[in-house]
Amino acid sequence: MAKREYNFTDIEKRWQGFWEGCGLFHTDESSRKEKFYCLVMFPYPSGTLHVGHGRNYIIGDVVARYKIMKGYNVLSAIGWDAFGLPAENAAIKGGIHPAIWTKNNIKAMKRQLHRWGVGYDWNREITSCDPDYYKWTQWIFLKLYEHNLAYKKKAAVNWCPSCATVLANEQVVDGCCERCDTPVRQRDLEQWFFRISQYAQKLLDDISLLEGWPERVKTMQANWIGRSEGVRVDFKLENSGKALPCFTTRPDTLYGVTFVSLAPEHSIIEELISGTLQEKAVMDFVDRVRNQGIVERTAEATEKEGIFTGRYVINPVNNDKVPIWVANYVLMEYGTGAVMGVPAHDRRDFLFARKYQLPIKVVIQPKGEELRANTMKEAYVDNGIQVNSGNFDGMSNTEAIKKIAMHLEYKGLGTKTVTYRLRDWLISRQRYWGAPIPIVYCEKCGTLPVPESQLPVVLPETVEFKSHGMSPLAEVDSFINTNCPKCSGMARREIDTMDTFVDSSWYFLRYLSPKDDSQPFVTKKVNKWLPVDQYIGGVEHAILHLLYSRFITKALYDFRYINFKEPFQHLFTQGMIIKEGAKMSKSKGNVVSPDILIDKYGADTQRLYILFIGPPQKDAEWNDRGVVGAYRFLNRLWQKITDYEDVYAKVQRADIDMNKLSPAAKTLYRQTNQTIKKVTEDMETSWHFNTAIAAVMELLNNVDVFNVVIPSNAAEELNFNVFRHTMEITLLLMSPFTPHICEELWEAIGHKPSIFQQTWPAYDKNAIQEEVVEIVVQINSKVRGHLSVPIDVSNADLKRRVLSDERIAGFLNGKEVMDIVVVPKKLMNIVVK
């Protein structure tokens, strides 16, 4: 018979066209099947994809195809997170408009996705830089504004004095501008914020609803929100008696306060120092520190610096008079911007006190030793017993935390308070390539939202990109000048655009009605399809993107647009693909292009290798040579099935009756059923695609030792049917991983396409049962022999057989048997002395 080549190029093209034509991934929303929303994080169109990106989409495709075969109505869609800085940089450097650059990249990446054979409902494709999309991003801004969750305030930005421009954090390298190396300064600008802090507690509490999320990601979210319980203690200014509130999580150390320090931004400073001798020195210090970045100021390695204000406060619990300092490590954003200094029991306070010769007062003693202020080498931050603490002496400090807080509240000297590390979300970007913030400033009427009917506020196309100065939007008069929506008088538009994280915080709602121009999403549809059943993406988005999406979802829930509180039911974070010890990136020059590999081996080979490389949640090292292993396997599978291409139609199909099979056929039939079980478990429970594939490889190795002949009698027909059954199962099990070749072979073996209309195979419980098992015989836990016994052998019978075994008896000669441990169907351990 003529051998047919495994011509992957033609095969892959053919089936990609077929799936497109038959609408395999087209989601029929009226279907009565149970829904399954499978979502991969939508890509930023940065240029071309490498195999590291491919892992994400291929995993998503495997899950989608598997769920289709399991009988779900699957929704799998994709779009483009298309606003952002790289496009604007390309415009500045290469003179190409961001819109063109983005469009070209989308085109190139779409082609790559198609070549991988990953399937989406392309009718639902969305692009966040499209006015049809960002109209609704602006709508979300308006809704947040309406509910007082969007507001404007002054906030520090990175400012390059030489370029006279605002820099994004990633444009600041070692505290300097990445372009001109000028030290970056902090400058206050009026900017828009989303009040995510108002949702801090809800975001924290509802982590418990995220059952299908990795623990690691949940912990990262909780840490980022950073709830801490403490007390706001009112210290009184010595001269005026005015309260200076300090937040502390350690009220047990209150008796050990020897100074109080203020953030340089604290509003009380001016009032404190005015007219004092220190006034000028303090103001100089404040100016200098405020120009340091926050990251730099609070870094462990940065020198703690401060200056005395010349003023004092009174400690409310013991009336100690303690000095007020201004310190670089205190932040206005956290707590009250004023902290009490307890050198004996806080590391930073200890260093600070030593540096400026401030007193150290021990108020907590560890068990079994006695700390002395003048001999301490470092702060003691652990638990112990209260000393020098008035009525609280002798109490454990954990007890004192509660008692002192109660005491303060009772006396009206403080309030129990909860604070969060989570800051409000700064969404203003002084950039062109983003969704314009829909706000108008009128001299008469003030700050006004753009009415919904006037959305979208469209980005002007013709702008000038310069490497210096403000956002290009600042110079487009036709954009800036507008009419006030209230009084129709002259008004000007907000020129800042939104952080791209706003675009990506709601896109998963848009897939349900991507073209609806009357509303951002259809409540009825999103309520039916969300939460997303399975979200798949990189762990680098474990904090911000997921937290912002959760916040927007919760806000929309509170505004009664949707009836679910969390957007993503299950989350899967895949590991990175590493090459030469580093993450693949263009700048490192270690990227592997999928196109070259597809040309050489085909998409199925590449998919198989990426899935086989290791457990998908772990990082994995890419090895170009490893790819051939996947290619060889597919070739063997191809050969095995096409060898009998003209036989399948001639051999009558028959149900397989275990009792009539030859021993070899029975073994193969059993192995086939065992493989179904193994692969299904790997798909359902752990997503260990690598071991699922290994199991199928093993099965094919077993087919190799099974003697297939073109049947000429009934017994041979039976054998052939067992072989055919095994190959059909192999194709079904492999189809989510390597869909093209499986479709082709499914047809070759005599079926009508598509294989994805088949249901996922179930295993025959009776068939997986072995008749004979091999028992490992150990003596003192060392393997000394193996024994084949019927599966249903009794323990007593097993012992008798083992002890009468010649070899085992030799080992036992002259030794006393102390104990025999039997693990049914597996092992027997004889303990001897």
**Site of interaction with RNA (CB under 7 A):** 215-216, 219-220, 223-224, 298-300, 539-540, 543, 612-615, 618-621, 623, 625-626, 628-630, 632-633, 635-636, 688, 690-691, 693-694, 697-698, 701, 704, 774, 776, 778, 780-784, 786, 819, 821, 823, 826-827, 829, 831
In angstroms, give the least distance from the CB of 726 to RNA.
Answer: 16
Task: Give 563 or 686: the residue with its C-beta nearer to RNA.
Answer: 686
In angstroms, give the least distance from the CB of 122 to RNA.
Answer: 33
> Contact, 756 vs 809, CB < 8 A?
no
Q: Is the dihedral of CA 431, 434, 439, 442 positive or negative?
A: positive
> Contact, 616 vs 689, CB < 8 A?
yes
In angstroms, give the least distance from the CB of 695 to RNA.
Answer: 8
In angstroms, give the least distance from the CB of 177 to RNA.
Answer: 22
Tell the residue number behind the tokens 């030794």, with chain if given: 815
Query: Which residues does 240 contact at the CB level (< 8 Å), separation at least 6?
Result: none
Task: Give 620 or 683: the residue with its C-beta nearer to RNA.
Answer: 620
Task: Give 767 or 831: the residue with its C-beta nearer to RNA.
Answer: 831
Task: Give 135 or 688: the residue with its C-beta nearer to RNA.
Answer: 688
| 3-state DSSP helix/strand/coil % of the chain, to nearest 5 | 40, 20, 40
Tokens of 732: 């079904």
In angstroms, give the least distance from the CB of 588 to RNA.
Answer: 12
Preceding amide of 456 cis, omega within 30 = yes
Task: Give 137 or 328: the residue with its C-beta nearer to RNA.
Answer: 328
Task: Give 164 or 299: the residue with its C-beta nearer to RNA.
Answer: 299
> 304 to each of 67, 184, 228, 355, how far by Cα in Å?
57, 20, 24, 9
Tokens of 260: 């109080």
In angstroms, give the least distance from the CB of 787 to RNA.
Answer: 10
Distance CA 597, CA 605 (A): 9
State whether residue 107 is helix, strand or coil: helix
Task: Give 71 or 175: the residue with its C-beta nearer to RNA.
Answer: 175
In angstroms, give the least distance from the CB of 674 to RNA.
Answer: 12
In angstroms, give the least distance from the CB of 319 to RNA.
Answer: 32
Tell the residue number behind the tokens 């479709």, with chain if given: 743
Task: Give 5 or 655: the residue with its C-beta nearer to RNA.
Answer: 5
Query: Which residues does 334 contact at the CB level (< 8 Å), separation at least 6?
Result: 247, 419, 421
Task: Give 498 or 608: the residue with its C-beta nearer to RNA.
Answer: 608
In angstroms, give the least distance from the CB of 263 to RNA.
Answer: 14
Task: Give 395 or 679: the residue with its C-beta nearer to RNA.
Answer: 679
Distance CA 97, CA 461 (A): 9
Query: Which residues does 702 contact at the CB level (< 8 Å), separation at least 6?
Result: 667, 668, 671
Tokens of 806: 């010649």
Tokens of 556: 């929309």
In angstroms, give the least distance from the CB of 785 to RNA.
Answer: 8
Name the phi and psi angles at 74, rounded to 5.
-95, 135
Quick one: which of 149, 154, 249 has its CA closest to 200? 149
Report residue 687 CA to chain centroid gap: 17
Preceding amide of 754 cis, omega within 30 = yes
Task: Give 471 or 829: the residue with its C-beta nearer to RNA.
Answer: 829
In angstroms, give the least distance from the CB of 779 to RNA.
Answer: 9
Orientation of helix 215-225 relative to helix 544-558, angle to 10°? 70
> Contact, 499 vs 194, CB < 8 A?
no
In angstroms, give the least distance from the CB of 743 to RNA.
Answer: 23
Distance CA 174, CA 183 (A): 9
Task: Give 816 or 819: the residue with its C-beta nearer to RNA.
Answer: 819
| Four-CA torsion 752, 755, 759, 761, nearest 10 degrees | 110
In angstroms, give the least distance from the CB of 443 to RNA.
Answer: 40
Task: Give 135 or 607: the residue with its C-beta nearer to RNA.
Answer: 607
Kind of pairing between the strands at 126-127 and 79-80: parallel
Query: Which residues does 314 contact at the CB level (< 8 Å), separation at least 6?
Result: 235, 236, 237, 238, 320, 321, 322
Quick one: which of 543, 463, 530, 544 has its CA closest to 500? 544
Task: Give 53 or 688: the residue with its C-beta nearer to RNA.
Answer: 688
Report residue 503 CA to chain centroid gap: 17
In angstroms, give the least distance from the CB of 48 to RNA.
Answer: 23
Distance CA 781, CA 709 (A): 45
Query: What DSSP designation does 169 have?
Result: G
